[in-house]
Amino acid sequence: GAGVSQSPSNKVTEKGKDVELRCDPISGHTALYWYRQSLGQGLEFLIYFQGNSAPDKSGLPSDRFSAERTGGSVSTLTIQRTQQEDSAVYLCASSPSGMDNEQFFGPGTRLTVL
């Protein structure tokens, strides 16, 4: 079956612009995670959605970052007023129930802020 998909695969933007990154989880998976991978910081947790529960936003680095998940499926990560330090690969993962150990990752969106 289809895995986690993310779009766009690459995004180049200018400093100060807003960007939206999209994640389509595996159908039926109730848990969805966003991570960021950069050279200096490795792979870091950003935010976690589980069903209808309030999301765990503890990893968001600033209030410029926000995410939503509509209808328990597709998620959008929004970065406002992008900065050069936001340049990274943004990875989305999903798991069947949120009580599983395996998270299935998408290919990521490579964001470059000029």
Partner 1 sequence: QKEVEQDPGPLSVPEGAIVSLNCTYSNSAFQYFMWYRQYSRKGPELLMYTYSSGNKEDGRFTAQVDKSSKYISLFIRDSQPSDSATYLCARVKAAGNKLTFGGGTRVLVKP
Which is closer to partner 1, CB of 49 or CB of 86? 49
Cβ 29 to partner 1 shortest distance, Å: 11
Q: 39-60 in b/e burial notation, b at 16+ Cβ within 10 A?
A: eeeeeeebbbbbeeeebeeeeb
Cβ 51 to partner 1 shortest distance, Å: 11
**Residues 69 and 32: beta-carbon distance below 8 Å:** yes
Amino acid at 36: R
Which is closer to partner 1, CB of 42 or CB of 71? 42
Interface residues with partner 1 (CB under 8 A) are 4, 31, 33, 35, 42-45, 48, 50, 56, 58-59, 91, 93, 95, 97-108
* Strands 109-113 vs 10-13: parallel, antiparallel or unpaired: parallel
Cβ 32 to partner 1 shortest distance, Å: 11
Which is closer to partner 1, CB of 52 or CB of 58? 58
Q: Comparing C-alpha atoms, which of 62, 61, 34, 64 is closest to residue 49?
A: 34
Cβ 97 to partner 1 shortest distance, Å: 7
